[in-house]
Amino acid sequence: MSALAYTLTEDIPKIHETARRAFDSGKTRSIGFRKEQIAKIGYLLKDNEKRWREALHADLGRHPVETGLFDLMPTYSEIEMAYNNVEKWTKPQGIPFSLTWLPMHPKFQAEPKGVVLIVAPFNFPIFLLLKPMASAIAAGNAVVLKPSEQTPATSQLLAELLPKYMDPELYHVINGGVPETTKVLELKWDHRNGRVARIIAQAAAKHLTPVTLEVWKNPVVVDPKVDVKMAARRILWGRFSNAGQICLSPDYVLVPAHFQDTLIEAMKEVYKSFYPEGPEKSNSLSRIVSVAHATRIKGLIDETKGTIVLGGGADVSKRYIAPTVVRDVSGDDSLMGEEIFGPVLAIVPVKDVDEAIAFIRAREYPLAVYVFSQDKKFQEKVFKNTKSGAACTNDTVVSAAVPGLPVGGVGSSGYGYYGGKHSFEQFSHYRASLDNPSWVDTVVFSFRYPPYKPNYTRYMRILTSKLPPRPGKHATVSAAKRWGFWILFTLLGASSALLMKSGRFAQFKAWA
């Protein structure tokens, strides 16, 4: 593990100042420039894929499949999307046609917010820093990244590569721990994106900085009629990938009590197929980021009153926690407190789907609710009666990788989005513009000037929108309209018949 060089605290305001000046210079105004920088993020990764894999292996003992699937692949698709859409996203937009306002050319256009700060945790250093960075650059901002000090190899690599690929004045990395982060948060940013949510939100409040935040504890609801092997496989995959250190990981499973045994049997089979020689020897299992976190997770396993049916072992000094499944967990168990953020899955037996819904509703809004069921009605029932950032059926975690889906929480799981245009928009400000020609006052709009005259209401009527029909009367109004239509239709029919019989018909015959 290479040592991480911390940014000197006294340099932090200078970095902020450099970024501000570079932004003020206006060089990000050019769309060509933005595209070049977006592409360079891609090559910063592509040219050094092996080094990134190694760094993440050093930090998290992570197998390259997971780095490819969770960090590189979604970042590449974000880069492609930002690169291909930046012209479309930044072009001036009109409003729906309106005769009243047309002469003033009302438009709005996305402009950069300024200098933005992106703070990411240790679990997906590339995805969580460079993916939003691509959106922030597309929007035209200067960007400062604060990676986690818990992934020293990866954070060091980022600090080394970023200035080699990207404009060194606009884009920066600040590395460090609590003192450095505290210093960073004292400064005024135009947008922040980060995860030690309450602290960041408080600091942002001082400067009225808009914030994007994400935090989480995601339930899975299993329908007893589901293809249980598929469910077991996809739930365990989501829980054990990156050793459970994924904000979208399924955190606990709600299953009808009578179906718990069946589900666990299926999980045992899957477990064996995942780790044929046992998880400790597997190269397909990541390690926990730090001894402190490993100790915390082990504590949760030791204290649970549920029954451990798979795994349960740990070697804290090696930051190893065995992939673990615990059954018969109750609502007040140690595993049901904070988010687990490790490879431990709690199974909570409930009576039925209604109890499962009530269980979810009694807690904070999670980042995702997962349902395993082939029955549309079952799915709808859970989704319609719960709130969450995402609502996914028959798979876990993957929604974050789908290009263009806005990934984000609601309530205590945060606000704002990763991904595509929604991410671009949160780093942008839509600036409204119009240009009102002199003649508009002559035609209609001069009534606005004092002294106000009693006939002003006449002009107001032109400017005013019609209200929707009054509720309760709607049906009557449209019935009247329908009658009107039929009456008119009948009249037309009758009169044309009359016409045909009279001279017009004769005329027509003469033509023939």
Name residues contacting its own copies, limited to 144-203 (CB under 8 A). Answer: 190, 197-198, 201-202
Does 479 engage in binding with its own copies (CB under 8 A)?
no
Can you tell me the distance from the alpha carbon of 390 to that of 247, in angstroms, rounded to the nearest whole number? 12
When the beta carbons of 462 and 494 are compared against its own copies, the nearer one is 462
When the beta carbons of 432 and 479 are compared against its own copies, the nearer one is 432
Can you tell me the distance from the alpha carbon of 243 to that of 288, in angstroms, rounded to the nearest whole number? 7
Q: Determine whether 247 is an active site residue.
A: yes
Does 30 engage in binding with its own copies (CB under 8 A)?
no
When the beta carbons of 80 and 328 are compared against its own copies, the nearer one is 80
Does 411 engage in binding with its own copies (CB under 8 A)?
yes
Within positions 32 to 71, which residues make up the interface with its own copies, using CB under 8 A? 35-36, 38-40, 42-43, 46, 63-66, 68-69
Within positions 78 to 97, which residues make up the interface with its own copies, using CB under 8 A? 79-81, 83-84, 95-96
Please tell me which residue in 78, 180, 247, 392 is annotated as part of the active site: 247
When the beta carbons of 179 and 469 are compared against its own copies, the nearer one is 469
Q: Determine whether 339 is an active site residue.
A: no
The CB-of-509 to its own copies minimum distance in angstroms stands at 50
Does 234 engage in binding with its own copies (CB under 8 A)?
yes
- DSSP class per residue in 443-474: HTGGGGSSSP-TTHHHHHHHHPPPPPPPTTTH
Does 216 engage in binding with its own copies (CB under 8 A)?
no
Q: What letter does residue 386 receive in the DSSP assignment?
A: -
The CB-of-407 to its own copies minimum distance in angstroms stands at 6
In Å, how far from its chain's centre is CA 391?
A: 12
Can you tell me the distance from the alpha carbon of 193 to that of 170, in angstroms, rounded to the nearest whole number? 17
When the beta carbons of 449 and 511 are compared against its own copies, the nearer one is 449
Can you tell me the distance from the alpha carbon of 387 to that of 125, in angstroms, rounded to the nearest whole number? 28
Beta bridge partners of 172: 144
- Coil, strand or helix: which one is 118? strand
Within positions 101 to 120, which residues make up the interface with its own copies, using CB under 8 A? 101, 104, 106, 108, 111, 113-114
Is there a contact between 235 and 197 (Cβ–Cβ < 8 Å)?
Answer: no
The CB-of-491 to its own copies minimum distance in angstroms stands at 31
- DSSP class per residue in 39-57: HHHHHHHHTTHHHHHHHHH
Per-residue tokens: 108: 């709005």
Can you tell me the distance from the alpha carbon of 322 to that of 342, in angstroms, rounded to the nearest whole number? 9
When the beta carbons of 449 and 486 are compared against its own copies, the nearer one is 449
When the beta carbons of 315 and 375 are compared against its own copies, the nearer one is 375
When the beta carbons of 67 and 123 are compared against its own copies, the nearer one is 67
Can you tell me the distance from the alpha carbon of 347 to that of 350, in angstroms, rounded to the nearest whole number? 10
Among 90, 407, 423, 427, binds its own copies (CB under 8 A): 407
Does 380 engage in binding with its own copies (CB under 8 A)?
no
Question: At CA 243, angle to CA 242 and CA 248, rounded to 5?
Answer: 65
Select the span of 141-149, 151-159, 304-312, 431-439 touching its own copies (CB under 8 A).
431-439
Among 50, 377, 470, 509, binds its own copies (CB under 8 A): 470
Among candidates 395, 504, 429, which has minimal Cα distance to 111? 429
Q: SS3 string of 160-173? A: HHHHHHCCCCCEEE
Does 320 engage in binding with its own copies (CB under 8 A)?
no
Select the span of 4-12, 148-156, 205-213, 260-268 touching its own copies (CB under 8 A).
205-213
The CB-of-84 to its own copies minimum distance in angstroms stands at 8
* Residue 391, phi then psi, degrees to nearest 5: -130, 100
Q: At what angle do helices 178-186 and 197-207 cross, to 10 degrees?
A: 30
Does 427 engage in binding with its own copies (CB under 8 A)?
no
Per-residue tokens: 28: 């990000």
Please tell me which residue in 66, 78, 180, 214 is annotated as part of the active site: 214
Does 224 engage in binding with its own copies (CB under 8 A)?
no
The CB-of-324 to its own copies minimum distance in angstroms stands at 15
* Residue 494, phi then psi, degrees to nearest 5: -60, -45
Can you tell me the distance from the alpha carbon of 446 to that of 481, in angstroms, rounded to the nearest whole number? 37
The residues annotated with a catalytic role in the active site are 214, 247
